[in-house]
Amino acid sequence: MKTIILFEQLPATSNTAISPAEAILKIIKMHLGLMLLLSLGAGCAGSAKRQAPPSETKSKPAVEANNGVTGNMLSQWVDRTSSISIASAFPAAGEDCALIYDPVQHRLVLFGGKTDDNKVISDVWSLDLAKNLWQKIETEGEVPPTSEDHVVIYDPISYRMILHGGEDGLTTNNTWSFDLKMQRWRNMTPQSGAPAREDHTAVWESRGKRMVIFGGRNKSQDNDDINIYEIWALDLDPASPTFEKWRNLTVEDKHPPGRSDHVAVFDGKKKRMIIYGGWDKWEKEYFDDTWAFYFATPPDTMGVWRQIKTKKSYPPKRRHAVGAYDAAQNWFIIFGGFGEEGYLNDVWAFDLDNDVWINITPGPQPRIDQQAVYDPQSQRLIIYGGDARLSSKFHDVWELQIQRNLPIDVLLKEAGAKTNAESKP
């Protein structure tokens, strides 16, 4: 069953003049109870779920956001799993894989990860979003080693997927490219000068035509380098003299604390990378801070970090969440993860125009280590897989459909947030 949320028109005979924003707010409140009832029967949770680890005997109550708001029903989740062809197999990996959106063939492409029995693999799969069909991609020649906790990005210049890092034991500096047309791998590691990383993040920085990674850890035979705050960039401009070479962009001044298991996105309008959350392994603490790294102009100079103050409304502390950029709304959307209250399924959007967090709506079953991409054709966030220490991993596919017609002042008022745009450095 799919939930359809309808908004009523206010009576035309009303004697009290109200503003358009107040009218929309009144409609939202009028229908909140109806939407909660509808969502219960449609796989779209009516309140944010926090699932405690199986080892705990007592269930913990749902954690409200810092502003007391538990979800604004500004969107709905659609379970796409049932619409995928029953003749289709599905990836064996459900956790710690990595995913890109291929705009040329309108598909998801997935690499690596862990199976239900925690075996680390190196399979490549695609999900055709038009045909709703999973298909294993058979490759020829050399392939990357089995891997989890790696990162991938889509390289639109050379039409390929770029893979970096990960582990199946010790941390690697593996850097590979996957030709999305020829469906062949190429090992870029020897000549690239790549750092070893796992549990880090990667973004495609379009202005500099490069892959940018931040944070993570480096577990070697001799030590475990944790809470890394370094920034590295892989040049993917074929016309550049440093093509397919890594460069250290680390800024020592006023940088965020090092971390792993965080989320990140590139904000093209403001030429910055946004990071949120993560894990301080040394202190055994979760993060709930939001930072922006402004890339330098021109790209051969250094950038600058700025912490974004989000006092009124922001997500609870967490690691193992997933994030993606919503181009239609200019939002950085995060979902799920693990925090002080266990497994999470809340969904938050960071409005990149106003630098504020908005609590959207609860999502599917709480989980960690799922993957997410944004589909520009449907203008929806798509998530796949994850884990919650159940009998098996998740292998489901969900879409997030957002109400696009609500003005920002209404969104912020419902979320308890105030517009507090960050000043540029």
Whether the predicted pLDDT of 414 surpasses 90: no
Report percent pLDDT > 70 for the chain.
79
More confident residue, 378 or 24: 378
User: Given the DSSP bridges, would you call strands 160-164 and 231-235 parallel, antiparallel or unpaired?
Assistant: unpaired
Q: What does the chain come to in residues?
A: 425
Give pLDDT tens digits for 85-137: 776 789 999 999 999 999 999 999 999 999 999 999 999 999 999 999 999 99
d(Cα 331, Cα 327) in Å, to the nearest integer?
Answer: 7
In this structure, what DSSP letter does residue 157 have? T
Give pLDDT tens digits for 141-157: 999 999 999 999 999 99
Give pLDDT tens digits for 369-397: 999 999 999 999 999 999 999 999 999 99
Name the band, by pLDDT with cuts 50, 70 and 90, for residue 407. confident
For residue 302, the model assigns a pLDDT of: 85
Give the alpha-carbon dihedral of 336, 338, 341, 345, to 10 degrees: 10
- Residue 90: CB atoms within 10 Å: 18
> Assign residue 157 a region: left if phi > 0, alpha if psi is -120 to 50, beta otherwise?
alpha
Structure token pair of residue 122: 């190196």
Give pLDDT tens digits for 284-320: 999 999 999 999 987 667 899 999 998 778 899 999 9
User: Given the DSSP bridges, would you call strands 342-351 and 75-79 parallel, antiparallel or unpaired?
Assistant: unpaired
Q: Among 63-72, 141-150, 264-273, 387-396, whose mean pLDDT is lowest?
A: 63-72
**Displacement of CA 388 from its chain's centroid (Å):** 17
Structure token pair of residue 320: 């193992």
Structure token pair of residue 173: 């500096």
Structure token pair of residue 403: 């109400």
Report which secondary-structure segment, H or E, holds 176.
strand 175-179
d(Cα 51, Cα 62) in Å, to the nearest integer?
Answer: 9
For residue 249, the model assigns a pLDDT of: 96
- Mean confidence (pLDDT) of the chain: 83
Report percent pLDDT > 90 for the chain.
69
CA distances from 185 to 171, 179, 390 (A): 20, 6, 34
Name the band, by pLDDT with cuts 50, 70 and 90, for residue 74. confident
Q: Convert 7-38 into a string of H (helix), E (strand) and C (coil).
A: CCCCCCCCCCCCCHHHHHHHHHHHHHHHHHHH
Whether the predicted pLDDT of 67 surpasses 70: no
Name the band, by pLDDT with cuts 50, 70 and 90, for residue 59. very low
Spatial CA neighbour of 187 closest among 235, 244, 242? 244
For residue 49, the model assigns a pLDDT of: 54
Name the band, by pLDDT with cuts 50, 70 and 90, for residue 410. confident
Give pLDDT tens digits for 198-233: 999 999 999 999 999 999 999 988 888 899 999 999
In this structure, what DSSP letter does residue 148 have? B
Total-model pTM: 0.83
d(Cα 200, Cα 226) in Å, to the nearest integer?
Answer: 11
Phi, psi of 361 (to 5 degrees): -170, 155
Give pLDDT tens digits for 107-120: 999 999 999 999 99
Name the band, by pLDDT with cuts 50, 70 and 90, for residue 65. very low
CA distances from 74 to 22, 337, 361, 362, 421 (A): 16, 21, 6, 10, 22
Structure token pair of residue 151: 């990162």
Phi, psi of 396 (to 5 degrees): -90, 165
Residue 35 β-bridge partners: none
Spatial CA neighbour of 331 closest among 374, 278, 282? 374
Three-point CA angle 101, 216, 301, nearest 5°:
80
For residue 362, the model assigns a pLDDT of: 85
Domains of the chain in sequence order: 47-415 (2.120.10.80)
Tokens 């770029």 -> residue: 162
Q: Where are the beta strands (DSSP E) in 215-271?
A: 218-219, 224-225, 231-235, 246-248, 263-267
For residue 422, the model assigns a pLDDT of: 39
Which is it for the CA torsion 403, 359, 67, 52, positive or negative? positive
Spatial CA neighbour of 320 closest among 124, 116, 95, 155? 95
Tokens 């979902």 -> residue: 335
Tokens 């809470």 -> residue: 227
